[in-house]
Structures are given as C-alpha cells and as structure tokens.
Amino acid sequence: WEINNEIDWPHFWKSGLPAYADYLKRAARALRAVDAKNVIVLGGLATDGVNAFEYDKTKATANTLEELYKLGAGPDFDIVALHPYSWKDDGIAISIKKIQTAHGVMRAHGDADKRIWCTEIGLSTNHNPPWSDYSEEQQARALRDMYTKLLEHPNVDKVFWYNFRCKGTDRNSQEDNFGIVNNDMTPRK
C-alpha cells in the first residue's frame, strides 16, 4: 500500500511533513490491523528525499526523508519509494546517485536493509527543450538501460516506468509523451 504520492512536492501534498507522518502512522496501523502482512510503501518521493528541485514554479521540500525519520515515521513504512528521474544524457548515473543518497539516509537511521522501489522513472519524447527532445529510439534505450542499471542496486527491488501509454498526442507536451506505446495503443519505434 503506497501512502500518497510525491509527499515532498506541494503540488501533491499540501499539508506539510508532520501531517504526513501522522497520516502515514494512522494508515499503517489500520492496514496492519487488517493484515499484518500488508506492505506499507512511503509516498513516492519526487527526488531523492534530500535535495529539493523546482518544477512548474513549485519547489519540492529538501531533506524530506531525514525529517520523516526525525518525526518518528521510520517504523511506519516498509519500502521507500523514489522517483529518480533525470533528463540529462548521463541520466542513469544521476538516477543511481539519487538512490544512493536516499539509501544513505536510510542507513543512517538503521534502515539499511529496507527495500527501495523506483515507483516512477521515465523519459518523455516531447519536442520541448530543455526538459526533453529525445527520440523514441533514445527512450527505448533509456528504458532498457534504466531497468538494467537500477535493479543492480542491492536495495532496489522494483522499477515502474511512467507511463505505459502516452497521455495525449501533443508532441510539445511533456506529459503526453512518456508512454512506451502511443495514445491510440499502437507501438512506438
């Protein structure tokens, strides 16, 4: 059970980290009461849980993972979910660094053995630099390389590509072009 999404980005979570820590604790308690085997996934962090970024005039919260540990949330999640995107040519190295950064915080708080899921990773093929101007062939290579390299990290168990299907057909829209099949479900190159 993933408890919310991108809790470090006010676009998705507007109530602050103390409120999220309380929400997570209540959700974990309720889910474990129903079935002790339920797996609780921390709401996917928009980056590495340490460094902030700004996108679409909204700034992500820095040091989110550290703050959650300070708020006592460590026992309330079993998996750390990350969104280690990168739109650079050396994107895989940047994505791996994001995973290592988060894992460093986890290790510092006694959670070195907790698993990491990359619940969002992707590359848009929109024609709108600076965020993207990648071909479908480059996207396909990135998908193969990202899955291969990210799953080599000893704590990464799962990688989820964002999105399977393109959300729309506007070639200039970043959101419309993350899919690995076209909006009409036809194969991409």
Closest CA to 119 of 39, 187, 19: 39
Q: What is the pLDDT along the chain (189 residues), one digit of tens a residue?
A: 999 999 998 889 999 999 999 999 999 999 999 999 999 999 999 988 898 877 777 778 889 999 999 999 999 999 999 999 887 666 788 899 999 999 999 999 999 999 999 999 998 898 876 666 788 998 998 899 999 999 999 999 999 999 999 999 998 898 999 999 999 999 997
Two structure tokens written together for 94? 């940047």
pTM across the whole model: 0.92
Distance CA 173, CA 167 (A): 10
> Letter for the amino acid at 61?
T
